Structure 1
Amino acid sequence: MNRLHLLGLVTTLLMAPAFADTQPKPPQDKQAFIADLMSRMTLDEKIGQLRLISIGKEMPKPQILKEIAAGRIGGTFNSVTRQENRPLQEAAANNSRLKIPIFFAYDVVHGHRTIFPISLAQASSWDMEAIERGGRISAIESAADGLDMTFAPMVDISRDPRWGRTSEGFGEDPYLVSRIAEVMVKAYQGGATPNQADSIMASVKHFALYGAVEGGRDYNAVDMSPMRMYQDYLPPYKAGLDAGAGGVMVALNSINGTPATSNTWLLQDLLRKEWGFKGVTISDHGAISELMRHGVARDGREAAKLAIKAGVDLSMHDELYASELPGLIESGEVDIREVDNAVREVLGAKWDMGLFADPFLRIGKAQDDSADPGVENLQHRDVARDVARKSMVLLENRRNTLPLEKQGTIALIGPLADSHIDMLGSWSASGAAKQTVTLRQGMQAALGDQARLLYARGANVTNDSHIVEYLNFLNWDDPEVVQDPRTPEAMIAEALKVAQQADVIVAAVGESRGMSHESSSRTSLDLPESQRELLRALKATGKPLVLVLMNGRPLTLKWEQANADAILETWYTGTEGGNAIADVLFGDYNPSGKLPISFPRSVGQIPTYYNHPRIGRPYQVGKPGNYTSQYFEEPNGPLYPFGYGLSYTDFELSPVRLSATKVRRGGKVEASVTVKNTGSRDGATVVQLYLQDVAASMIRPIKELKNFQKVSLKAGEEKVVRFDINEDDLKFYNLQMQYRAEPGEFNVQIGLDSQNVQQETFELE
């Protein structure tokens, strides 16, 4: 045995305790540990670390175990319990040559077992503490099931609600989404690195600009100026990374003609060099192979070459790294150092997850196995109910129709009134539909024997058989959209019979959850015609009509806005949704949500967003519209603006007060208002600060959100709300792509939504 071989054997033996039952800590120098480990890895083992395999029928368990033991898999996703994950980790940590642990990932987006409201709903709370609690519980529950990483938060800015994944993000505004991105990353990871048993690694997605796909059509192209990228769309990703996110999932779309998966500028120049990101990059599902469909790769060999050179570390559900990288390295088309860079990031992520110190950190011992996800879990229902209540937005409330009295007879009608599955919303992880509280259940529990609750379905979500077939395609053996076989006329007749007996009608309408999901882009944002027919019939009864909306995107609600007595936007509220909605309907909780995204009047207005660029011929209400920027068929502007939301009480703001009217560079000005609850109920509202650059070297937005505070006030109580404005709040990317503030006047606008504001002005000298 030569000296070099003996040294390698001794090193291997010395490293073995790191994976033994006692699991002592590995050496504390991360880079030295990884360098030593990589020096002993074969090329096959290195490439294996770059493979992220989907658990499913495509690769049966015996084959997966064999591949893991051979060191040819770096991580898996879609296995979500300790019982599933333990044998896989044992194959890696006990049976592979170098005992390198694998990691387990999943889409934990808005809850794991306890499902919280969808992301768009949580953004409606404007409550960072509530969002943090939901994210922290999501991490605790998923880590307890043996997961190490989540493909979240999804921080894509969305200004076209036709895009189905609008439901998965936090809305249209870069400042609000950036604040939430930071909160969610810290909640998932529990610290700088997720190396504790109750934390998981966050992977910010989809990098980048996925929410700006042309026409709102999923997977479509994005063409955008650098200034708009940097000013509006990139800040949330950077906020998540600055908060410490260990991972980045690369988007499926192209950017200015280059797919994100092969975009060297995006993944090297911007992400690594400009932003200094040191974590792991992950392709989206099958995205490396899709480079051939994009038309930038002739074959799989070129696709793998483009992706690894661009900086994609982990290949998700894609075999091209395994099949093509050895030949590419042998031919010299790919430098081994490029593969080593990717392997180093993957191993670094595993270090940060704490897996080298203890491969079974989150899996534990067999006797500690958590129950099957289908078993009832009551652990975090109280928090889920509270977050759901905070996430609802009261859009209309004529004649104080809400809150409802717990007396008399109430008719609950609609295809979503008693649907368990639709309470969950998209990407509901291990949430069990049977564990959700439907609106019918929640209202009945709230009423008890104080009032009579009558129910009728009234309509199917849609009568379009092609849409139903599409929505059930991926779950044909257990369809989510189940049609009532009766005719629409028979269902409406039953609903009217129920409505005639009631004092008030509550109609639960909107979208089935699959209508607001990946690959669920829509050309129309109207309620499906089956539901509109039902609402017209209910309106004709003359009874007070309350709409409870369940949806994952803004809808076009002109008829509904004009005809309903009250409209409550609930989105998809999660496990405790029915109870939370009932709390709001009956006044046990005063709604305080504000819209994180504008509601257009019609699809023709899209994109509709509050912080649009200023123009030379703006439309002005009350003045002739000819030769101004407008649609002449209907009023300009959204039906419901960004930041809008009503309460069961009333709030008033004083004029804005500024601490100074002139500010030098490096200084700051304090803006303050007094907010008063002038109504008869305790409540909360969101005081919002917007800035407008009056004149600049290039066109600036009409206004931009720069801060906000959620304030709770008792009836008659008032409070002074203060905001500090500094030079950084005034900066923007100019024509030379310099991030600077320019001297001049700035309008300070403070209001309870983006349209109704108080204004004062100061000057930056």
Structure 2
Amino acid sequence: MKSPHFFIYFFLLLFLFSIKSISAQENELENKIEKVLSKMTLREKIGQMNQINGRNLSDQLYEQIRSGEVGSMLNVGSPELVNQLQKIAREESKTGIPLVIARDVIHGFKTMFPIPLGQAASFDPDIVEIGAKIAAKEASERGIRWTFAPMMDISRDARWGRIAESFGEDTYLTQMMAVAMIKGFQGKDLSKPSSIAASAKHFIAYGAVEGGRDYNTTNITERQLRNIYLPPFEKAIREANCATLMTSFNANDGIPASGNDYLLKNVLREEWGFDGVVVSDWASIKEMIQIGFCEDNKDAARKGVLAGVDIEMVSSCYLENIEALISEGKLQQKVIDDAVRNILRLKFRLGLFTNPYTDLNKKTSSYSESHLQAAKQAAEESFVLLKNKNNILPISNKVKTIAIIGPMADAAHDQMGTWSFDGEKEMTQTPLQALRKQYGKEVKFIYEQGIAYSRDTSTARFSKAITLAKQADMVLVFVGEEAILSGEAHSLAQINLKGAQSELIAALSKTGKPVVTLVMAGRPLTIAKEIDQSDAVLYLWHPGTMGGPAIADILFGKSVPSGKLPVTFPKYVGQIPVYYNHDKIGRPATKKETLLQEIPLEAKQSSLGTSSYYLDAGFDALFDFGYGLSYTTFEYSNLVLSTVTLSESEDLTVTVDLKNTGRYQGTEVVQLYTADIFGSTARPIKELKDFKRISLKPGETQKVRFILPISKLAFWDINNKKVVEAGQFNLMVGGNSQEVLIKEFKVL
């Protein structure tokens, strides 16, 4: 029998061998990079830093590729064209350096998954990773090897259209979802033809633009950056080995992201050890002129290069000015060489030097059965049940006739959501189609749009919709936003339902028939009135290709809602920004304060309750972060901590009993929060630290166990150092951010 020491030595040797093997591979890679670099002219090096839009191809562009003036392209139309361009780069240029072909593959390529905000509502990193893996497979079959996703901007303003592309307002949830998406895109081996390079974006604080207006400025302190906005990026680099990073459009504290050498060099490169590619966002190098940070194109090129932006997307300041800057002594060639090393490293890691071509004979996997089923599961898990009066959902077998009303019931294009460049509405299954197909034998479905599209203000078809509703046992009204109303450059000052949709819901509610409102949207909407007028409300986000079948099965109880809100829903737009984990304040509001209609006439000037709230909006959000109902109910009890006093090097074990007290098997997202009672700076009232999806049968109880490393309580303190401060903490566990069980513990 082998001694215990034998196994210790054996595994130690294996570990040392693996370290040595990795080191040898890295040395070999760097040697390859230096060999290619040594043969390149300055012009060819600058060419690697030049990214071209492939929508407008010309003989001039082909010649640029042939002469080595293009390093990467985006929006190339077909795999045949990709191969043609790669042949020019690989076989007709002097350097033989392959191109990287990029595309915005955000929440699916052909098979569209829910928008990222919807995926975040699943609280399921596994399904996010699967979705990204499927997107990578479908996209790579078309020659695409680089995507500009995931977007991990913390988003606390629903007016900002790009909140749809985010994972919501919470730092921890965002980093978990972002890491999962990166792993899905890149896989375990980036050189496999089915993988694509991910891009962590946007660096940094783009989600905090003033007024929710896209491309606007931000003024986030370094401590806020460190505590809130940077952690998902650090996790993406250190844990998920994200291959590339994209700078954001905005200037923070007056410094454009594409010219911020402190963040791109000191933080990204030196602190985090990033050795991948930094790419600008679309023309963001040139836009530093408009911001007023740069004098002209030459100055923009100089500041972008010196800041550490390796690739300029589409605006050509680098290509047109770097040679002159070097000859004038305003740039050193070493800076250019370092940028090109990063670019070549990406291309070697992608395996493009070995195999730059796409297999045109390979059968496409797009819309395969397994891909469609994964998209359906993702959609089901993303839906959030906001209201279910008298448990009218799921639809019972007593319901024989259902009126389907509304502009989003059969809107195949809009159902896919923003950033769906390659999705096809012909392949999208809508709720109307799916309900008829899946349940049409048991239930009679009668359909009338009521209004033609979400912004339609005409009420001319209301009478027909109301007539149909009166003939039915139940009304399903599908409302929301067209896809074009959210996403980049689609900010809104008012986030209510557009057109005559609210009036349609009000009219249907007066029929006396049960009304189920189903909302497809790319952001939280201010729908307090519409919720009051509805018997049940399901929030569907933009659910993608398989939204229809997923909705049908949820409505009829074949699946049970389990989604939770990844972002707080305001009652009124004037409450924005509103988010669950705001810092503590000196005068927090209570529900004992005076509201607008309670103020007596000719009241004497006073501070009323002297706390922080709106006289006309009250104290609360419409729905809190983490909120979401189920067809069943869950009971939390017996919250136990393994100890109440521990050091920062220890782990805290947390257990809680979760019981399914309802009639349906269901999945609950159990959420764990902590609150630092006091610190060297004001601390958030609570912060999400972990979550688990737990499935239980009716009557079943499970002891849910969390392991909380005390190191996860670290934050950037008054001295801008990351520390775990000693003191008292609250630990909270529950089904949303507000309804929780609480225990105290102390860190020494």
TM-score of the superposed pair, with normalisation by structure 2:
0.93
2:380 aligns to what?
Answer: 389
SS of alignment partner, residue 655 of structure 1 = strand
Aligned equivalents of 1:387, 1:201: Cα separation in 2: 22
SS of alignment partner, residue 356 of structure 2 = coil
Aligned equivalents of 2:705, 2:453: Cα separation in 1: 46
CA contact (8 A) 1:82 1:370 kept: no
RMSD after superposition? 1.6
Residue of 717, 721, 727 corresponding to 2:704: 721
Residue of 395, 410, 417 corresponding to 1:418: 410
1:614 aligns to what?
Answer: 584
Amino acid at match of 1:461: Y
Q: Deviations over 1:155-200 (max 9, x none)?
A: 1100001000000010000001011111111111102x51111111
Q: Which runs of structure 2 are paired with 1:129-140 in the superposition (5 Å)? A: 129-140=126-137
1:367 aligns to what?
Answer: 361
2:352 aligns to what?
Answer: 355
CA contact (8 A) 2:138 2:364 kept: no
Tell me whether 117-126 or 723-732 shows the greater mean CA deviation. Answer: 723-732
CA contact (8 A) 1:124 1:596 kept: yes
Aligned equivalents of 1:518, 1:217: Cα separation in 2: 10
Q: Which runs of structure 2 are paired with 1:338-737 in the superposition (5 Å)? A: 338-360=335-357, 363-364=358-359, 366-368=360-362, 370=364, 378=369, 380-405=371-396, 407-463=399-455, 488-622=458-592, 626-737=609-720
Aligned equivalents of 1:121, 1:489: Cα separation in 2: 31
Aligned residues: 709
SS of alignment partner, residue 232 of structure 1 = helix
Q: CA deviation at 1:445?
A: 1.4
Q: Deviations over 1:249-298 (max 9, x none)?
A: 11001111011011111211211112211100001111111111111111
Amino acid at match of 1:117: P
CA contact (8 A) 2:54 2:77 kept: no
CA contact (8 A) 2:572 2:617 kept: no
Q: CA deviation at 1:80?
A: 4.8
Q: Which runs of structure 2 are paired with 1:119-198 in the superposition (5 Å)? A: 119-191=116-188, 193-198=189-194
Aligned equivalents of 2:296, 2:386: Cα separation in 1: 52
Q: CA deviation at 1:28?
A: 7.3
Aligned equivalents of 2:85, 2:27: Cα separation in 1: 26
Aligned equivalents of 2:672, 2:370: Cα separation in 1: 37
Aligned equivalents of 1:205, 1:232: Cα separation in 2: 15
CA contact (8 A) 1:441 1:578 kept: yes
Aligned equivalents of 1:660, 1:488: Cα separation in 2: 63
Matched, 1:199 2:195: yes
Q: Which runs of 5+ in 1 are unaligned?
A: 1-25, 464-482
Amino acid at match of 1:526: N
Q: CA deviation at 1:462?
A: 4.6
Name the CA shift for 1:27/1:604 in 2 (closer, same or farther; >3 Å): closer
Aligned equivalents of 2:701, 2:58: Cα separation in 1: 62
Amino acid at match of 1:452: K
SS of alignment partner, residue 270 of structure 1 = helix
Amino acid at match of 2:372: R
CA contact (8 A) 2:408 2:454 kept: no
Q: Deviations over 1:605-636 (max 9, x none)?
A: 11110000001111112456621000011221
SS of alignment partner, residue 100 of structure 1 = coil
CA contact (8 A) 1:289 1:303 kept: yes
CA contact (8 A) 1:513 1:552 kept: yes
Amino acid at match of 2:459: E
Residue of 222, 226, 238 corresponding to 2:222: 226
CA contact (8 A) 1:109 1:153 kept: yes
Aligned equivalents of 1:720, 1:298: Cα separation in 2: 63
2:7 aligns to what?
Answer: none
Amino acid at match of 2:409: A
Q: CA deviation at 1:369?
A: 7.1
Q: CA deviation at 1:377?
A: 5.4
CA contact (8 A) 1:80 1:147 kept: no
Aligned equivalents of 2:635, 2:370: Cα separation in 1: 39
2:602 aligns to what?
Answer: none
1:103 aligns to what?
Answer: 100
Aligned equivalents of 2:458, 2:420: Cα separation in 1: 31
Amino acid at match of 1:699: A
1:12 aligns to what?
Answer: none
SS of alignment partner, residue 105 of structure 1 = strand
Q: CA deviation at 1:367?
A: 3.5
SS of alignment partner, residue 746 of structure 2 = strand
Aligned equivalents of 1:388, 1:293: Cα separation in 2: 41
CA contact (8 A) 2:652 2:710 kept: no
Aligned equivalents of 2:491, 2:144: Cα separation in 1: 30
Matched, 1:246 2:243: yes
Q: CA deviation at 1:379?
A: 5.3
TM-score of the superposed pair, with normalisation by structure 1:
0.91
Aligned equivalents of 1:353, 1:100: Cα separation in 2: 13
Name the CA shift for 1:722/1:370 in 2 (closer, same or farther; >3 Å): closer
What is the percentage of aligned positions where both structures have the same residue? 40
Amino acid at match of 1:656: L
Q: CA deviation at 1:529?
A: 3.8
Q: Deviations over 1:331-362 (max 9, x none)?
A: 111111111111111111101111122222xx
Aligned equivalents of 1:550, 1:585: Cα separation in 2: 15
Aligned equivalents of 2:260, 2:94: Cα separation in 1: 35
Q: CA deviation at 1:729?
A: 2.0
CA contact (8 A) 1:157 1:177 kept: yes
Matched, 1:743 2:734: no
Matched, 1:212 2:208: yes
CA contact (8 A) 2:175 2:233 kept: yes
Q: CA deviation at 1:33?
A: 1.0
Tell me whether 573-582 or 632-641 shows the greater mean CA deviation. Answer: 632-641
Matched, 1:272 2:269: yes
1:762 aligns to what?
Answer: 745
Q: CA deviation at 1:27?
A: 11
Q: Deviations over 1:113-134 (max 9, x none)?
A: 1110110001000012111111
Aligned equivalents of 1:632, 1:573: Cα separation in 2: 37
2:40 aligns to what?
Answer: 41
Q: Which runs of 5+ in 2 are unaligned?
A: 1-24, 595-607
Aligned equivalents of 1:431, 1:28: Cα separation in 2: 41
Aligned equivalents of 1:297, 1:669: Cα separation in 2: 51
Amino acid at match of 1:232: I
Amino acid at match of 1:710: R
